[in-house]
Amino acid sequence: MERVVITIARQYGSGGRTVGKMLAKKLGIPCYGSNLLKMASEESGISEQLFCQLDEKLKNSPFLRMSTDIYTGDLIPPESSDFVSAKNLFNYQAKVIKRLAEKESCVIIGRAADFILKDYDNVVSVFVHGSAEFNLARAMEQNSMTETEMEKFIAKTDKYRAEYYKHYTGREWTDARNYDLCLNSSKLGFEKCVEEIEAYIKVRF
């Protein structure tokens, strides 16, 4: 297989991360997700804690939904007062994602990677979703919350992901036109989602 990068956006509880890890294991390639924060920290010299704190801060802030700041690829220099701004922390994550796409086959979970790599010919972008019942049941297996608490948490998490995506891309997160494949894990199951992605890669490349 030639170098190929699979980006996976996913609804909370749909198992998109699980599908990504299963696919990476089957193809024998790395899978990147939250570990991108550490890599971006090493790339920029900015504390990893700041990257993690920003993630948590944005989840509870109206900042994302109040504006858009579409990613253009520019980095803000260290001497600028905006060097550790939300925009520049995203920029450094994007720089790492691009570097990975240029050197190896891999799976990248979240982080608006499909948009960051939209001009790369070797990228397959996937959106994994599931029914509300399926996502809730699976999320309940992973968390010790009541059903009502879990429903609210899922709604809040997906709202954050949609706002994050819109802020940095100008696009709607759930718009099928943003992706090569949209897979319903509640109908296919994880194994068949992996098989569908593999089949698409074989047909396309």
CATH number, domain at 104?
3.40.50.300
**Average pLDDT in the 35-39 region?**
94
**Contact present, 61 and 167 (Cβ < 8 Å):** no
Residue range 7-26, pLDDT digits in tens: 999 999 999 999 999 999 99
What pTM, to 2 d.p., does this model score? 0.94
pLDDT the model gives residue 101: 96
For 191, the domain range is 5-204
**Contact present, 15 and 185 (Cβ < 8 Å):** yes
Q: How crowded is residue 107: how many other Cβ atoms within 10 Å of its Cβ?
A: 27
**Average pLDDT in the 45-61 region?**
86
pLDDT at 54 over 70: yes
In the chain, the number of structural domains is 1
Confidence of residue 30 (pLDDT cuts 50, 70, 90): very high
